[in-house]
Structure 1
């Protein structure tokens, strides 16, 4: 009897229990898991197919362009489709994104079958698939805000991270095996099928919601940017995230070149690095939900500094036996970042959360692709390993600068036990939000 009682207490006492037991979210999570697995496989397939299609001597440049094309156009899509998609529910936004990605990615193996797949068409189809990516991301976090109270937002965000971490463990090695057996184009075909499954899941699992009044939609097109611009905490968070992701972008170009040219290894070895990162991310994601009572600003900045430190070995001529564990530790440190930064948004904005998230995605989605495109000339000019070393050092500097600016702008509390009046005003009054001195600190 006592063991049964303790067993029943554990899952229900976990911060993740309200998320996985929610009647609607528990129907959506399997579709998200399947789609995340496809995305994990595409980490290897997208770059490997670009390497195969690229002309000799231009592999680094075309790999950078292909990876950037898989995400970069979503920033334009935020504004191009803003009038039509603003006012949609979170599930509707995510459905449109999954449908477009399934259709565009499926066209890649179709073009291959008829012998029409060139590097130019490949990049164009990747770009088309990513047009609604920022809306899909905003849709997922908006759905969480629509279905759960604020006190459960961080654990729910962490669940998405856990799913992504697990998929990064399974997806890349599976993609490496399938790439060696059938070719990367068919791995992309599987990715397209997983997005089709996700779109169907959203369609069937979440009830349809009526579109917002058109007058509200027109007003919402720029309100998200205005919210961020007038809130120094959110503006600083956006700048930190942009810089953090930008400096990680060159990895997607440098690492495949290190594997193929320095290590003379196969796609399976590249998959092992992604798997190591995913294993660390999974552990970090599992721990993230327990941070909801901690000050999130110091944690978020600390992630940036710590990530830069553990990425240093990849930029040095270290053996795989050392660089693989270092990359796993990098995944562990990286994992909570999206969850904590999104929780800061969710705690700071309420009624205008979808607009703020869409604006945030429109800016941050540019970071990794721009960093990846920057990685092309960097790896060509100074080499792959020096590029990673430079980015790791710059990431550490970014975090240190952010910490210094945060300390300089902080007003000291009146006593050691009580916050100052100005800091108290920055706290959210929502009773569902646990006290968090770092959540909205400038």
Structure 2
């Protein structure tokens, strides 16, 4: 229960939010599930390294990370005909139950001696098939429950939970990996999804509105293609995520091979990134006073620069500081890009555009992780990490050139009687 004193200390929107009994029932299990997912940031790649034969650990780690994410994007596109008809609660419960069963099979197969690389990748891939729909259900769950003026507060609390899990989850997994196999850490994540499915299924909620049949991701992609600025934002964000994908695979090998350390240090890296991201997100108020395009391009360039200290392998300190700075500058990026979408997308198609955006972006990081695993078998982890940063830096001048070209094209095709306006183009 919440005491009167803490309630008075909360800002007004949060007081009314936490006064809602259903929100108080569900938010703790959401936070628990976020913590479980935070632990898998370390556990999935670390378990792949232990399962992979000598000389191919990097490739298996890349495939494992990709298989844990990529099928979710495919499921968003392929299964939309059936899944978009389901209410938000059923989407969330179905996804959580599937992940609980299949991720829970990982420690069981490990205990039975049946966890081969193929079995491991298969379980991870199957568990993620509905995850894009589960995430959509999670964010849509409170729409019929709360008034419109509380949606920002809900999104803020959910985002804070995710970033907090980015700090605590990897650090906790790093500690546990020194005691138990990473397979059991994945089993803990499965348990959090089981709790989420049970609590959400038993909570009484108003009936969520069913999305229109023609509101699938394909329609959202058509809208994005007709909006050059939004389509460009999607492309540059996809490349940004693609460039970050190899980091998830190369960082474990950097810690184990180059620094000769264990999972505890790997957890410290991700915790430092999470702390930086929380601080960066809290500084969003200042960032919003900056022009959106320069702010986002500056974030990408700064993130790339922050990856360059990984070239130094004598000690962890330079790269640890750099990774914390990468989190710091990355913190506001998602909110800034969503602000741009909300400003530019047609109001009656906003959810469709966001669904299409999520489906496309879900493919970027896994492909980057798979490419990183391929490269790790041919070069060193520091080289992959620094190359990821270099790709981010190169993304910025490329985006600026495209912005100028698009602006020129828009001016040539604008009718002479049309009022002058700022050319909008890609990010």
Query: TM-score surpassing 0.5?
Result: yes
Please report how far the alpha carbon of residue 280 of structure 1 lies from its aligned counterpart in structure 2 after TM superposition.
0.9
RMSD, aligned CA: 3.3
SS in 2 for 1:180: coil
How far apart are residue 307 of structure 1 and its match?
1.0
| TM superposition shift of 1:387 | 1.4
CA distance in 2, matches of 1:79, 1:42: 25
Q: Is the 8 A contact 1:74 1:365 kept in 2?
A: yes
Q: Is the 8 A contact 1:45 1:188 kept in 2?
A: yes
Change (3 A) 1:351 1:102: farther
For the pair 1:336 / 2:332, whether they are aligned, the reply is yes
**Distance in 1 between the 2:103 and 2:217 partners?**
28
- Structure-2 separation of matches of 1:299 and 1:190: 38
**TM-superposition CA deviations, 1:274-331 (whole Å, max 9, x none):** 1111111222233336756765443333221221121211234463122112111111
Query: Which residue does the alignment assign to 1:267?
Result: 263
Whether the 8 Å contact between 2:163 and 2:277 is mirrored in structure 1 is yes
List per-residue Cα deviations over 1:61-80 (Å, max 9, x = no partner): 11111111100111221133
Aligned equivalent of 1:226, options 222, 226, 231: 222
Pairing 1:170–2:142 present: no
The one of 142, 159, 166 aligned to 1:161: 159
Query: What CA distance in whole angstroms lies between the structure 2 residues aligned with 1:309 and 1:147?
Result: 44
After TM superposition, the score normalised by the length of structure 1 is 0.83
Contact map agreement 1:142 1:354 (CA 8 A) in 2 = no
Among 117, 126, 131, the residue aligned to 2:124:
126
TM-score by length of 2: 0.86
Partners of 1:57 and 1:120 in 2: CA distance: 17
> In the TM superposition, what is the alpha-carbon distance from 1:247 to its structure 2 partner?
0.1
Q: Is the 8 A contact 2:233 2:426 kept in 1?
A: no
Aligned twin of 1:315: 311
Structure 2 residues without counterparts, runs of 5 or longer = 411-417
- More off after superposition, 153-162 vs 230-239: 153-162
In 1, Cα distance between the equivalents of 2:374 and 2:206? 47
CA–CA separation in structure 2 for the residues paired with 1:320 and 1:20: 41
Contact 1:246-1:370 at 8 Å conserved across structures: yes
Contact 1:153-1:343 within 8 A present in 2 as well: no
> What aligned pairs does 1:235-250 form with structure 2 within 5 A after superposition?
235-250=231-246
d(CA) in 2 for partners of 1:58 and 1:143?
A: 42
Distance 1:384 1:221, change over 3 A: closer
Partner of 1:55: 53
- The within-5 A match list for 1:39-438 is 39-143=37-141, 156-205=154-203, 207-209=205-207, 212=210, 216-218=212-214, 220=216, 222-288=218-284, 295-317=291-313, 319-347=315-343, 348-406=345-403, 409=406, 421=419, 423=421
Match of 1:432 in 2: none
Q: How far apart are 1:349 and its partner, in Å?
A: 4.3
The 8 Å contact of residues 54 and 119 in structure 1, kept in 2 or not, is answered as yes
How many residues align? The count is 416
CA distance in 1 between partners of 2:362 and 2:262 (Å): 29
**Larger deviation: 168-177 or 284-293?**
284-293
Give the direction of change, closer, same or farther, for the CA distance of 1:211–1:101 in structure 2 (3 Å limit).
Answer: same
Name the CA distance, whole Å, in 1 between partners of 2:400 and 2:18. Answer: 35
